[in-house]
């Protein structure tokens, strides 16, 4: 029977290096998720706020509307399975479709600012109950993961969320300042 050799000095340094290579990004992500949020921008005046948010999944766009006129439009990333239809259950990584409302705002989110969409509504809950599963929850419009905003040029090229709608942090500042709680949201296929 052979005994394992203790790693030499180089082996120990390599082990330490690779351990730190894994642990440092994990620790950074945890710290940023819990403490990396900044102060939200001020709300715009009532005249500058919008009265509807329109999300088009097929074209990957989020548009802010005032009196049925688009005042701003942004490219978005969706849930990883967004092209598979509307969200029906927890964990399906799909983005919902239908008419909802911004029902609360979170300035201390793990993602740079977030606006909660009122999914699931009564119909979504009834459909899930009939199927015997959970409809899911916490669908948000949000920015990038805290501390990782510099990755937006890469992340926004793919659908990376669990069903949420993601924009860059700069875009989220504009959305946050223009969209008050109670704003209707339409999510189209």
pLDDT of residue 20: 65
Residue 1 in domain: no
Average pLDDT, stretch 173-181?
A: 97
- Encoding tokens for residue 60? 């990957």
Work out the pLDDT band at 169, boundaries 50, 70, 90: very high
Residue 179 in domain: yes
% of residues, the chain, pLDDT over 70: 86
DSSP state of 7: P
Tens of pLDDT, residue by residue over 81-138, are 988 999 999 999 999 999 999 999 999 899 999 999 999 999 999 999 999 999 999 9
Work out the pLDDT band at 12, boundaries 50, 70, 90: confident
pLDDT of residue 168: 97
Yes or no: say if 171 and 59 are a contact pair by the CB < 8 Å rule.
no
Residue 75 in domain: yes
Average pLDDT, stretch 67-78?
A: 98
Tens of pLDDT, residue by residue over 13-66, are 777 776 766 766 666 666 666 666 667 888 899 999 999 999 999 999 999 999
Query: Which residue is it, tokens 């330490």?
Result: 16
Residue 80 in domain: yes
Work out the pLDDT band at 9, boundaries 50, 70, 90: confident
Residue 13 in domain: no
pLDDT of residue 19: 72
Domain that holds residue 155: 52-188
Work out the pLDDT band at 143, boundaries 50, 70, 90: very high
Residue 119 in domain: yes
Q: Where are the beta strands (DSSP E) in the chain?
A: 52-56, 61-66, 69-75, 98-106, 114-117, 140-142, 165-166, 184-188
Whichever domain contains 145, its CATH number is: 2.40.440.10
Residue 40 in domain: no
Residue 44 in domain: no
DSSP state of 82: G
Length, in residues, of the chain:
189
User: Could you tell me which of 146, 175, 189, 151 has the C-alpha nearest to residue 71?
Assistant: 175
pLDDT of residue 30: 66
Is residue 4 exposed (0-12), middle (13-18) or buried (19+ Cβ within 10 Å)? exposed
Q: Tell me how many domains the chain contains.
A: 1
Question: What gap in Å lies between CA 173 and CA 141, rounded to an integer?
Answer: 11
Give CA separation, 44 vs 102, 175, 185, in Å. 16, 10, 19
């Amino acid at each position: 029977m052979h005994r394992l050799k203790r790693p030499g000095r180089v082996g120990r340094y390599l082990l330490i290096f690779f351990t730190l290579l894994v642990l440092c990004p994990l620790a950074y992500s945890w710290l940023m998720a819990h403490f990396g949020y900044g102060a939200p921008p001020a709300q715009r005046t009532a005249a500058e706020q919008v009265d509807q948010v329109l999300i088009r999944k097929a074209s990957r766009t989020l548009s802010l509307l005032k009196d049925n006129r688009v005042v701003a439009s942004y490219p978005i990333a969706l849930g990883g399975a967004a092209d598979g239809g509307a969200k029906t259950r927890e964990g399906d990584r799909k983005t919902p479709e239908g008419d909802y409302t911004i029902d609360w705002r979170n300035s201390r989110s793990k993602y740079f600012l977030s606006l909660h969409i009122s999914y699931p509504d009564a119909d979504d809950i009834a459909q899930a109950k009939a199927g015997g599963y959970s409809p899911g929850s916490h669908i948000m419009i949000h920015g990038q993961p805290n501390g990782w905003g510099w990755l937006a040029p890469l992340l926004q090229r793919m659908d990376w969320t669990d069903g949420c709608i993601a924009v860059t942090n700069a875009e989220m500042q504009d959305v946050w300042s223009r969209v008050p709680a109670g704003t209707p949201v339409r999510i189209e296929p």
